[in-house]
Amino acid sequence: MVPVERLEIADTLEALRRELEELVVRGVRTASSADVARLDGTREELARLGAAHLAERLGTLVDATRADRPEAARALLDAWTTLRVFERVLTLDTVADALAPPVEDDGEGEA
């Protein structure tokens, strides 16, 4: 993964973390239509970035919140947990890339 992609993903995850923290503190039933629209936009961005599982969990949260279903609180916790796991995996991947030995050029590249 190139650093620009990693930075874009990290920025998206940070924004999502803030949004979910607000919902955890306030309660998912207090989510406004603007809150839900932001979550849905973040879901689309995550899907575009290739984070399908996290996007799916966020979609479940958005659907349950829009429908004012009791499962919305559970969906919030599922999305929160998936986000935290995704952040850990991304961190491990970043560290592994940083600690990997440099790739040696064998001198047979195109001229």
DSSP class of residue 101 equals: P
Asked, for residue 54, whether it belongs to a domain, the answer is: yes
Six-digit token string for 30: 């207090």
Cβ within 8 Å of residue 35, ≥6 positions away: 19, 22, 23
For position 110, what pLDDT does the model report?
56
d(CA 3, CA 78): 28
pLDDT in tens, the chain (111 residues): 666 788 888 899 999 999 999 999 999 999 999 999 999 999 999 999 889 999 999 999 999 999 999 999 999 999 999 999 999 988 887 788 778 887 776 666 555
d(CA 99, CA 45): 29
Asked, for residue 107, whether it belongs to a domain, the answer is: no
Cβ within 8 Å of residue 86, ≥6 positions away: 13, 51, 53, 54
For position 31, what pLDDT does the model report?
93
Domain count, the chain: 1
Asked, for residue 110, whether it belongs to a domain, the answer is: no
Domain that holds residue 73: 3-98
